[in-house]
Amino acid sequence: MIIPAFDLINGKAVRLYQGNYYHQKNYDINLHSSLKEYALKGVKLVHLVDLDGAKNIKSRQLELLKKILSYSTIPIQIGGGIRNEQDIEMLLNLGAKRVVIGSICILNKSKVKEWLKRYGSDVIVLALDIHISRSSKKEIYIHGWQKKTDYSLEEIIEYFLSDNLKHVLCTDISKDGTLLGPNVKLYTEIVQSFKQIEFQASGGISELQDILTLKKTGVQNVIIGRALLEKKFTIKEALKCWQNE
């Protein structure tokens, strides 16, 4: 599945270069019109990130998210500063299809286990942001990629597998927002290791060939942000490329 992504700061669509808030590019788009177009073209899911909420939960763009969810006919998964049950309940009640859990799945693993049981594996998406070390370890970073943890990607997925973990959004942070191409080796390895997981590949997509290459890894979903915003290709071309491969 092709999943278009929009990162939002102060109501505007933006892209950060490798997660850096000081390296921000703004895009003059009408989100309502974009979602309407995507629905007509056949997009099945959209990924939204509240970057204000991710940075400071008191700055959460709640009214904006409420508005978007009220008019979108496409199911939406939302991430950004989700830290407790109240956050999850609020977004689900507003109409979100899934919630994307980031740093908290490392900081409070037992709590996230409870959420998987309570809300179901179709609702909770684990967002695991990684950096490949010199020793080829898939190191997990948290707090907007500012802090390295002692955990590897494989360790965290294994931990949650017994609770029917299904959706994992995996981002190679060295690729995100760069248009330098995806980490094909990474997705090839994790798809082979965890056949029961529906991975969402994120980071580096710049051309249609990247979509074809990722599909050959067996990954089931590809998140595309900057390439669509900068019209490197159209959503129609991306969907056709995915379906025809």
Residue 33: what pLDDT? 94
On whether the pTM is more than 0.85, the answer is yes
Residue 14: what pLDDT? 87
Is the pLDDT score of 12 beyond 80?
A: yes
Is the pLDDT score of 56 beyond 60?
A: yes
Catalytic residues, by residue number, are 7, 129
Query: pLDDT grade, residue 58 (50/70/90)?
Result: confident
Query: pLDDT grade, residue 145 (50/70/90)?
Result: low
Mean pLDDT of 130-149: 87
Average pLDDT for the chain: 91
What does the pLDDT look like over 89-113, one tens digit per residue?
Answer: 999 999 999 999 999 999 999 999 9
Residue 206: what pLDDT? 93
Which 3-state string (H, E, C) describes the chain? CEEEEEEEECCEEEEEECCEEEEEEEECCCHHHHHHHHHHHCCCCEEEEEHHHHHCHHHCCHHHHHHHHHHCCCCEEEECCCCCHHHHHHHHHHCCCEEEECCHHHHCHHHHHHHHHHHCCCCEEEEEEEEECCCCCEEEEECCCCEEEEEEHHHHHHHHHCCCCCEEEEEECCCCCCCCCCCHHHHHHHHHHCCCCEEEEECCCCCHHHHHHHHHCCCCEEEECHHHHCCCCCHHHHHHHHHHC
Mean pLDDT of 28-32: 92
Enumerate domains of the chain plus CATH numbers: 2-244 (3.20.20.70)
